[in-house]
Amino acid sequence: MEFKKDSQDYEASINMIPLIDIMLVLLIIFMITAPVLKYSFDVDVPSAQTSQATEQTEDIPLIVINKLNEIRINGLVLKNYDELKKYVSELKRKEILIEAEKSISYGIIVKVMDILKQAGVEKIGLVTQKEKEL
């Protein structure tokens, strides 16, 4: 008894079309939702009994330092202190607020304040939270 050989060789392969469709849908979803996200992060600022409430105006730049020592100014991530100095020296307003995580080393805050003074900043404010009364 002799078996017939199939003249066609069948090769198993993965159909890539559904995978590409799903990836494109995910890409579109991320492109739509990305601008909605606020480019900031939570910072646990220290509290003080004598802190005064001041209104954050749009024209006062805000420097945020998180626990990973990342420095952001108005949502823009700065890679090093030279970028901070360059960015601040180009600002028209010479008043800046600093919001830093309470676990940040005091030396980093002093370094940032020193760079701000070198860049010509005249007024530096530190952002705190008012202590809750018992």
Q: Are 129 and 51 in contact (CB under 8 A)?
A: yes
Q: How far apart are CA 94 and CA 69, in angstroms?
A: 23
Entry pTM: 0.56
Domains, the chain, with CATH or none: 47-130 (3.30.420.270)
Q: Are 88 and 119 in contact (CB under 8 A)?
A: yes
pLDDT in tens, the chain (134 residues): 666 666 666 777 888 999 999 999 999 998 888 776 655 555 555 555 555 555 555 678 888 888 888 888 888 888 888 998 998 888 888 888 888 887 888 888 889 989 999 988 888 888 876 666 65
